[in-house]
Amino acid sequence: MRQPHHAAPDSAEPRILPLPTAGIAVRGLLDESVAAASTRNPSAGSVSVAIDASPGMRVLGDAGALRGLVERLVADALAAAAMRSCGDGPSLHEVVITVIETPDAVELEIADSGPSASEHDRCPPSVRDLATRCGCRLHVTGCPEGGTAVTVRLPRREVRRQAA
């Protein structure tokens, strides 16, 4: 007798199911953040953006909060780079986003060619609160060639088993 179309065939062969992907794809998050910030700020169209992040890199955390934090930092960097002027020479308008993995964290550095900004200007209390909700630490520094770099440090949250 034939089985109905919706019934699974009776088979002794094991089926391989795809593993669920855990975490947030960093490259996708950065691409979306740059696109959103560019749409909101028309002057950002003059800014060159370079992203150096492995396509398969993922981080754990609250996707909405992390997206909000990264979008805000990218938007601030694009705005700063767009207003850069360098006197007689050509103006450099760029944002470089670099992501590195360390044994205990993933670090995103968002550097711009705009005027140097203080930590309070680039990371006001609202941004710090958002970073805390994401479990991140922020570090702001002036770039030697001008501009500002904000580093977002996302600690790895791995569960380690202990032998009994």
Write down all domains in the chain, each with its CATH number in brackets.
24-155 (3.30.565.10)
| Model pLDDT, residue 152 | 95
Q: Which residue has the higher pLDDT, 43 or 149?
A: 149
| Contact in structure between 108 and 70 (CB atoms under 8 Å) | yes
**Banded pLDDT at 49 (limits 50, 70, 90):** very high
User: Could you tell me where the beta strands, DSSP code E, fall in 62-126?
Assistant: 94-101, 105-112
| Contact in structure between 111 and 149 (CB atoms under 8 Å) | yes
| Contact in structure between 106 and 135 (CB atoms under 8 Å) | no
Q: Which of these ranges, 16-20, 74-78, 101-105, has the smallest mean pLDDT?
A: 16-20
| Model pLDDT, residue 155 | 85
Q: What is the mean pLDDT of residues 32-47?
A: 85
Taking 70 as the threshold, does the pLDDT of residue 34 lie above it? Answer: yes
Q: Is 146 helix (H, G, I), strand (E, B) or coil?
A: coil
Task: Give 20's DSSP letter.
Answer: P
